[in-house]
Amino acid sequence: MVDDLNVLVVDDESGLADLYAVWLGDDHEVETAYSGQEALEEVTADTDIVFLDRRMPQMSGDEVLTTIRSRDVDCQVVMATGAPPDFDILDLPFDAYLSKPVTEDDLTAVIERLHRRSTYDEVLQDYFSLVSRRATLQAEKQPENLEGDDEYAALLDQIETRQKELESLTDQLDEEDFDVFFTEL
């Protein structure tokens, strides 16, 4: 288990954000924010992982994510949301996507996976982000809707390019991510 990460939980439903904080608080330093603006005030260079709701009043999670990335804050972002994923996620630079309802085990598993991935080369991290977007769309869309979409085709091309770049990096992978990587090849 990974301990002592700085985690920010952002959700306009304060009870839910507080629940996530309780679940994670024994093992990590957890801050909560109940709005997009508050989240941007709380994100610092010390933030390791942000759990971010997409649907919030005034400032959406998508806007918060875009602003975090434009600030070059070196943190990983998990979209933990009830918003159904659509093709719009292709333009969002998140690291993982959790659909609500989210359990304590879901939060713990994604933290462990992202922490492990953070030790990998940047190219590999980008690959996992792209594959996560593809998997999210494949879980929500019919294959015939994906086949004709130019943006989805571009995503598949990006994944193929990253796969080729990663052939020399396989010795950095742990067993679980090694299996995921080679299943995709």
Select from 97, 108, 95, 102 the least CA-distant residue to 27.
108
Q: Which is the CATH superfamily of the domain at 6-118?
A: Response regulator (3.40.50.2300)
Q: What is the pLDDT of residue 10?
A: 98
Write the DSSP symbol of residue 95.
S
Q: What is the pLDDT of residue 32?
A: 98
The pTM assigned to this predicted structure is 0.72
What residue type is assigned to position 114 of the chain? L
With contact defined as beta carbons under 8 Å apart, do 4 and 28 qualify? Answer: yes
* Domain ranges (residues) in the chain: 6-118, 125-184
What average pLDDT does the chain have?
A: 88
Under-50 pLDDT residues of the chain: 185
How does pLDDT run across 59-76, given as a tens digit for each residue?
A: 999 999 999 999 988 899
Q: What is the pLDDT of residue 113?
A: 86
With contact defined as beta carbons under 8 Å apart, do 155 and 130 qualify? Answer: yes
d(CA 88, CA 85): 7
